[in-house]
Amino acid sequence: MKAVHFGAGNIGRGFIGELLHKSGYDVRFADINAEVIDELNEKRSYTIHYAGSDKQVEVNGVSGIHSVEEAGQLSAAIREADLVTTAVGPQVLPHIAPSIAAGLKERSRTDNPPLPVIACENMIGGSTRLKEEVVEIAGEEILGVSCFPDSAVDRIVPIQNNEAMLDVSVEPYFEWVVEKKDFKGKLPDIDGVTYVEDLEPYIERKLFTVNTGHAAVAYKGAEKGYETIREAMDDKEVVEHVRRTLEETGKVLIARYGFEKNSHERYIEKIIERFNNPDLSDFVARVGRGPIRKLGPYDRLVKPARTYIQTMHEDPVNLIETIMSALTYENSEDQEAVRLKELRTRMGTLGAFKEITGLDDRDELVEAIAKKLD
């Protein structure tokens, strides 16, 4: 079986590559990073190290395609593939859509069955978003040869600093949940994937617990001058803030999806334990990357905060505190953080928040943030 995976980065090599290889796929990584692609083609394998244990997994039979310079090869690979996956970042999906559209057009001239394209990004409806971009380019008829099931992925894979360029250190925990309903034909047999009828509870529980909590560690940590997640998690005030923030998102999730309270509390504690993993070295700059995206109206901070107000009829004070920390996050090497600072300088903090979220003064979260800024 053949898979094309867009994004030979941390989650691509450290998670999706591992599971696809284990399930018998030959994985071709498509990326714009020529150094990584050349190394993949030379070495044809890499090692995944499980942080905190001696476990190692060899991922072999892999190769790379430069997604811009080798466009013809990429189209041919998509034409013949059994599966396409992505882990490039939500903002990059529109940039890979033309390559996927070109490959699918070639495929439409063959008898090959419809190709599942699964986006593995931290966002709600990632594959659906990619589908919209591809349809915009190639037209609705392209859905005759493809399908775009949504998915949720969970494994903390920090930025890597290994002697061998392709090797990846990962936490042992992982979860990959894929929605069944959009598949055309047989579900791919991927070891470790859970197929579900309705992804919404899974993606919201993941994004509004793991990623909301992670964002709270990063932005609170940055505010206190910490550079690593380790330093931030060693500060009891930060950990307490994270726990209280997750109690707020927990109330929203329990009210919306009927999760059992005790088991959700255990899920929260498990996640705080994962942030505390002494064997993972992760940075505030990675976890806090892209603050404008993270402050988006459907993302990990604003969506649960607004739902909390609508459901509980009170302000989620800890989520609001995290939003305030995110709004003042600074990092001169992060383009979104630089833009956020410019917006704040030009429009003030509240103006920047309204600009990013598209919300206006009538919104109760905007009102609550305005009160905080008074």
Given the rule CB under 6 A, which residues bind ligand 44H? 122, 154-156, 210-211, 214, 287, 289-290
| 340-349, long-range: CB < 8 A, 24+ apart | 340/291, 340/292, 340/295, 349/324, 349/373
Q: What are the start-end ranges of the H helices in 29-92?
A: 34-43, 71-80
Q: Which residue has the tokens 């009170």?
A: 314
Residue 78 interacts, among ligand NAD, ligand 44H, none and using kind-specific CB cut-offs from 5 to 8 Å, with none
Residue 31 within binding range of ligand NAD, rule CB under 6 A: yes
As given in the structure block, the two tokens for residue 325 are 């920390």
Give the residue with the Cβ less far from ligand 44H, 5 or 155: 155
CA distance 247 to 265: 8
Residue 277 interacts, among ligand NAD, ligand 44H, none and using kind-specific CB cut-offs from 5 to 8 Å, with none
Annotated binding-site residue? 222: no
As given in the structure block, the two tokens for residue 315 are 């302000």
Provide the mask over 116-145, with x wherever binding to ligand NAD is found by CB under 6 A and - wherever it is not.
-----xx-----------------------
Residue 9 within binding range of ligand NAD, rule CB under 6 A: yes
Distances 63 to 21, 56, 107, 167, 177 between C-alpha atoms, Å:
12, 20, 21, 14, 26
Annotated binding-site residue? 17: no
In degrees, to the nearest 5, what angle opens at C-alpha 214 toward C-alphas 213 and 215?
A: 90
Give the residue with the Cβ less far from ligand 44H, 66 or 289: 289
Per-position b or e across 143-167, b if 16+ CB within 10 A of its CB: bebbbbbbbbbbbbbbebeeeeebb
Give the neighbor-by-neighbor strand order of the sheet with 56-60: 56-60, 45-50, 168-170
Residue 92 interacts, among ligand 44H, ligand NAD, none and using kind-specific CB cut-offs from 5 to 8 Å, with ligand NAD
Annotated binding-site residue? 12: yes
Give the residue with the Cβ less far from ligand 44H, 122 or 146: 122
Annotated binding-site residue? 9: yes
Residue 289 interacts, among ligand 44H, ligand NAD, none and using kind-specific CB cut-offs from 5 to 8 Å, with ligand 44H
The Cβ of residue 45 has, within 10 Å, a number of other Cβ atoms equal to 12
Annotated binding-site residue? 14: yes
Residue 291 within binding range of ligand NAD, rule CB under 6 A: no
Q: Which residue has the tokens 């996927």?
A: 100
CA distance 293 to 274: 23
Q: Which of 296, 343, 341, 346 is nearest to 323 (CA)?
A: 296
Residue 12 interacts, among ligand 44H, ligand NAD, none and using kind-specific CB cut-offs from 5 to 8 Å, with ligand NAD
As given in the structure block, the two tokens for residue 135 are 């349809």
Residue 370 within binding range of ligand NAD, rule CB under 6 A: no
Residue 75 within binding range of ligand NAD, rule CB under 6 A: no
Residue 287 interacts, among ligand NAD, ligand 44H, none and using kind-specific CB cut-offs from 5 to 8 Å, with ligand 44H
Q: Which of 3, 4, 8, 232 binds ligand NAD (CB under 6 A)?
A: 8
CA distance 231 to 315: 29
Residue 211 interacts, among ligand 44H, ligand NAD, none and using kind-specific CB cut-offs from 5 to 8 Å, with ligand 44H
Residues that bind ligand NAD (CB under 6 A): 6-12, 30-33, 67, 87-90, 92, 95-96, 121-122, 153, 155-157
Known binding residues for NAD(+) are 3-14
Known binding residues are 3-14
